[in-house]
Amino acid sequence: MRVTTKMMTADIAAQLLKQTEALQKSQKKVATGKNFQRISEDPIATGRILDYHRILSSLEQYRQNIGRGKTRLKYGETVLDSASESVQTARNIAIENAAGSTNLRAVAAEQIANIRDQLRSQANSKLRNRYIYAGHQTDVPPFAHRVEINGGVPADIDFGLAADATDAVIQIRGANGSVLRTLTVGDGITPGSGGTAGVNSVTWNGLDNGGAAIADGDYYFTVTADSAGMAVVDYETYNGDTGDFRLIIGEGLQIDLNADGSRTFTDLFYQLSLLQQALQDPNPSAATARIAAVIDPLNNAADQMQQVRAQAAVQFQRLETFENQYARLDLRIEEMRSAVEDADVTQAIVELQSLENAYETSLATAARILQSSLLQFLK
């Protein structure tokens, strides 16, 4: 078959086009560092890459969750370590004063009141502006004399007492500290009529002292109770719930970190209020017996706090184990992804230079062939 100039030109153009496409592909590989740019170039590899990215994204989320959990556990340990020191001080005071020394019991009562304040501050600790010991009620201080009005309906007023009271005065206050409503409970004579030892609840109609409805919101109150002229110690009850702080740390894996302050602090507040009440008892022998009776329950409450800390330590180790596993897995998956998706830049540059040389050679060869064919045609 006779090869015409037209056929030669078409063949050369087709070859140059293929080389141009290969050159462009190689240039993109060098520029982007990727083996291919479109799914259609390698659908199977693209599917693998998408799987790798999905796994890497999940691992990153799990590691972030683990980081949040570790931060919470570290902060919680700092809080509980400080609280444990406060409780130990209270135990020492109880043991010393149960031995019969009566001269400094009034001072010791003040010390216990200060410890209760410290412990309340620790129990109301926040992390990222969220209460960490209020269960799921993270915007509510877990231990405070607090009452809420919602939809015009007030919640019951809950408070604790260290002894039976003959009367109690509850003052509900606004944000500026002003008294909005004063409630009086008890007949002033009968022990228990003003509240009994333990948790008490009083119903409030949501009206102020003038009979006007108080707006929805959170309000705080104070309690002043006494029994036959002797002050009765009050304490804050738990405002949170029993919810825990749940973290997803793997496919189908979760861990629940303690967020229920009642498990850690409620009994401590009660026992410390009993201790303060006992130290204030004007009858020395009765006070000694009451102080001694608090020591074992106070020890039990302190042991409960240590159990919470021990559980947190185990959970911290578990989180660290998963974190290390995910770090190794992340590295391995990234290597697998890179092997499929990322180009060997050094090799890609060599290939590009080779294609450029071949393309330039093809252009020069094509020019000579076409020039020779044109001269033959003119002859």
User: Looking at residue 101, which CATH number applies to its domain?
Assistant: 1.20.1330.10
50 belongs to a structural domain: no
3-state secondary structure 271-287: HHHHHHHHHCCCCHHHH
19 belongs to a structural domain: yes
Q: Do 64 and 117 reside in the same domain of the chain?
A: yes
Q: Do 259 and 133 reside in the same domain of the chain?
A: yes
pLDDT, tens digit, 9 for 90 and up, residues 329-361: 998 987 787 676 655 456 555 565 565 555 566
Distance, in Å, from the CA atom of 200 to the CA atom of 181, rounded to the nearest integer, reads: 18
Q: Do 135 and 186 reside in the same domain of the chain?
A: no
Query: Of 235, 256, 274, at which residue does a domain stop?
Result: 235
pLDDT, tens digit, 9 for 90 and up, residues 219-259: 999 999 999 889 999 999 999 999 999 999 999 999 999 99
Q: Do 167 and 288 reside in the same domain of the chain?
A: no
| Parent domain of 189 | 145-235
Q: Do 252 and 134 reside in the same domain of the chain?
A: yes
44 belongs to a structural domain: no
43 belongs to a structural domain: no
Q: Do 78 and 212 reside in the same domain of the chain?
A: no
Q: Do 154 and 282 reside in the same domain of the chain?
A: no
pLDDT, tens digit, 9 for 90 and up, residues 149-195: 998 888 899 999 999 999 999 999 998 999 999 999 999 999 999 99
Q: Do 81 and 196 reside in the same domain of the chain?
A: no
Closest CA to 308 of 237, 247, 239, 244: 244
Q: Do 23 and 101 reside in the same domain of the chain?
A: no
Q: Do 253 and 288 reside in the same domain of the chain?
A: yes
CA atoms within 13 A on the CB side of 355: 21
166 belongs to a structural domain: yes
167 belongs to a structural domain: yes
Tokens of 220: 């705080």
Total domain count, the chain: 3
Which pLDDT score is estimated for 367? 64
Q: What is the pTM of this model?
A: 0.78
212 belongs to a structural domain: yes
